[in-house]
Structure formats: C-alpha cells, structure tokens
Amino acid sequence: MERGESSEQNTKTNTRSSLAMTIEEETENSKGNNGDTSSRRPMNEQDQFMPIANVIRIMRRLLPPHAKIADDAKETIQQCVSEYISFITAEANDRCRREQRKTITAEDVLWAMSKLGFDNYMQPLTLYLNRYRQYESERTSVRGEPFVKRTVDYAQGSSFPVPSPAYAPVLPHGPGPGHGHPQGLFNPAAMVNEFYRNAQRGLPGGSSSNVHGLPSFDPYGQFK
Amino acid sequence: MRQPGTYSGILSGGVSGKTGPHSLPLARIKKIMKKSSDEVKMISGEAPIVFSKACELFIEELTRRSWMMTMKGKRRTLHKEDVASAVVATDVFDFLVNLVSECAKPEDSSPIKERV
C-alpha cells in the first residue's frame, strides 16, 4: 500500500516515466505494476488510463448477463475515467493552492467531487474512507489486547458501565467469507478501545456520537 | 498476507492480488492525478484510495446510464454512441462532452440509431 506524501523520489520517477519519451519503462517494471503487457513501450499510452480489464469487470458486474459491450464503448469509458480523475484533481489542487497547502488530501478530493456535482458519491465514499482509516489504525496498532485488560486500564470507579456488544456492529466473529483474518475489520475489542478512549476524553459514555468507535472524522466539516 | 474483501464487504470492491482490496490500481491513479496539472505537487496516501472507490462509482453510473440508452434503442450491445448519449443527457457529465464527441462518426447525427 502506498503510504505517504509522495516522496521526492517518487515524484521524480513518475515525472520521468510519463514525460520522457525515450526512457524504457524501468520504473513500471521495478514497481511491479500489474505486469502490464505494455511495460516495454516508451511513452506508454495505456499508462494514462485505468487497466481496461478492471473497467470491464466493473461494467459487467452491473450489466445484465446477456448484455454485450462493444470495444469502442469500453475504450471510451476507460478514457472517461481518466478524464474524471483529472477533472476532480484539478479542482482539488486549485483549492490546495488557494489555501497554500502542498498536499492534496482525501478531504480535498471529496470536497472537489461534491463541488463538481457528485454529491451522491459522498456517502459511500465517506463510509469507505472511514472503514479504510479504521482498518489502517487497527492494522498498525498493538494487537491482541483482550477485552478484560482494557476494562481494568480505564476503569474510573465502579460506576463506569461496561459497554455491551450492542455498541459494536454485529458481525460474524469467526472465520467467514472475506473475514478470514482474526483481527478483521470490525474487531470489537479495538472498537471498545476507541469507545473507552472517547469516554476518557469526557464524551458521554454510550451516547457518544462515535457509536462505532471511529476516530472523530467529520466528513462534512469542510462543506459547512 | 492476503486480506480478501477487507473493507469492501459493505461496498463492492473486487479483489486483485496485486492491488490489494482496491479494485483499481493506486499507482496508476496517482500517475493520472499528477498528469492532470504541472502544479500538482504532493498527494496524500489516502487520496488515490478515495479515487479507486469513486472511479468504481463513476464507471457504474456511466455504464448504467449508457445501458439505458442501449435499451431505448432496443439493442443488447452497448456502443460508444450510447455512452455519448448518456454524457449529453447528464449534467454532471458535461466535462466529458468533448471527449465523447471527439471520435464521433462524421455522418452520425442520431447517436442511438442502430446502423444496419
């Protein structure tokens, strides 16, 4: 997973590979970028687009089984996606420049999408981003702390209620499709950790707005 | 370790071994973002992730609308003309108008007319 603020090295590499007409696609190869067939071509046109196989897969998932897709339609949509990314990025970038910030953040992207009319994407995207952030924080946090131990750490007198499982979303806890990992996305223990941390900060226990124990993230804070 | 469908359980997100749980390659997204303008300097790690999901939604919406055009023409093959019609008919897709009309066939006046 690419982390980070697009380090200097990365920036230079990307610029080189996209502008230099004569340099072979060493960078693409070394990044192991999907092993696209076009890895040998300089100034690879396909680099400007999402891989067509991915695009087709998403389309087919949506269309009825009997539907056929003409090749020119596939290519057109492929091009439209790139145009979409550029369109949104330009708007997000403008905002960063106006506010004298150097890094385009996820919030900038969301803001730009909303501004340019893609309001109906906001909810699923915000949800997706929140899940991702939670997943990342769990992935990098200390694992394996049992529920009981946390109770002892944060107990502030006997009156502090122990949250019932009702505070965590109900999810299969054992191995299940897509949840093979024991410390899966919705690890109740980790969510309880968040819950306790919120409580420590003085938020009303149990009726906190962060019902699901997510770190506070107001997706619409910038839209107000 | 592979994490199938980790946070794409709620929202569909395909799994690709090389791109992790995201359906679209993050490096490619980042590349396209950088190309959008010379002034794009730095991109946070999360921005391409938002885009990977957004592009899925975008493709779905464009496909859905295009398919409506196909059905209108009583056909079962989604053609480029259908995409063009969908773009023209949708306000948010105004930014695509030039793109879809670029390679339009010169004598094509009615996009949804099936050519015999």
B11-54 pLDDT tens trace: 444 443 334 566 799 999 999 999 998 888 899 999 999 999 99
- Asked whether residue B112 is assigned to any structural domain, the reply reads no
Nearest-angstrom CA–CA distance, A102 and A169: 37
* In chain A, % of residues over pLDDT 90: 39
pLDDT digits (tens, 9 = 90+) for A148-162: 544 444 444 444 444
Nearest chain A Cα distance for residue B25, angstroms: 8
pLDDT given for residue B61 in this prediction? 97
Query: Is B59–A59 a contact, with Cβ atoms under 8 angstroms apart?
Result: yes
CATH number at residue B78: 1.10.20.10
Residue B73 lies inside a defined structural domain of this protein = yes
User: Among A123, A101, A103, which residue's Cα sits nearest to residue A113?
Assistant: A123
- What's the pLDDT score for residue A47? 85
The answer to whether A58 contacts B23, with C-beta atoms less than 8 Å apart, is yes
Interchain CB distance below 8 Å, B46 and A59 = no
A187-207: average pLDDT: 46
Distances (CA, A) of B5 to A61, A106, A131, A164, A181: 16, 21, 12, 27, 11
Residue A22 has pLDDT above 80, yes or no: no
Residue B2 resides in a domain: no
Chain B: closest CA distance from residue A47 (Å):
7
Half-sphere CA count of A218, side-chain side, radius 13 A? 6
Dist. CA A23–CA A36, nearest whole Å = 17
Beta bridge partners of B23: none
The pLDDT score that the predictor gives to residue B34 is 94
Contact state of B47 with A54 under an 8 Å Cβ cutoff: no
User: How many contacts (CB atoms, under 8 Å) link A and B?
Assistant: 239
Angstroms from A156 CA to nearest CA on chain B: 34
Q: What whole-number distance in Å separates Cα of residue A222 and Cα of residue A158?
A: 40
Which structural domain, as residue segments, surrounds residue B50?
Answer: 10-100
A79 contacts on B by Cβ (under 8 Å): 99
Q: Is residue B113 part of a domain?
A: no
Q: Across residues A33-57, what is the average pLDDT? A: 72
Is B5 among the domain residues?
Answer: no
Q: Which chain A residues touch B17 with a CB distance below 8 Å?
A: none
Nearest-by-CA chain B residue for A7: B42
Query: What distance in Å separates the CA atoms of residue A211 and residue A206, rounded to the nearest whole number?
Result: 7
Residue B3 lies in a domain: no
CB within 8 Å: B49 and A132: yes
The reported pLDDT for the residue numbered B97 is 96
Q: Do B37 and A63 touch (CB under 8 A)?
A: no
Domain count of chain B?
Answer: 1
In this predicted structure, the answer to whether residue A68 has a pLDDT above a threshold of 60 is: yes
Cβ within 8 Å, pair B6-A55: no
Domain for residue B105, yes or no?
Answer: no
Instruction: For residue B110, give how far its alpha carbon lies from the nearest alpha carbon of chain A (Å).
Output: 16
Q: Which residues of B touch A184 (CB under 8 A)?
A: 6
Predicted TM-score (pTM) of this structure: 0.59
A84 Cα distance to chain centroid? 18
The residues, ordered by sequence, that sit 6+ positions from A29 with a Cβ below 8 Å of its Cβ are A39
Q: Which of B15, B22, B49, B103 best tests the A interface by mutation, with the highest count of A CBs <10 A?
A: B49
Rounded to the nearest 5°, which phi and psi values hold at A221?
-60, -35
Whole-number Å distance between alpha carbons of B101 and B98:
5
pLDDT at A33: 45
Give the closest-approach CA distance of B6 to chain A in angstroms.
6
What is the predicted pLDDT for the residue at B28? 95
Is residue B110 in some structural domain?
no
User: In one letter, which amino acid is A165?
Assistant: P
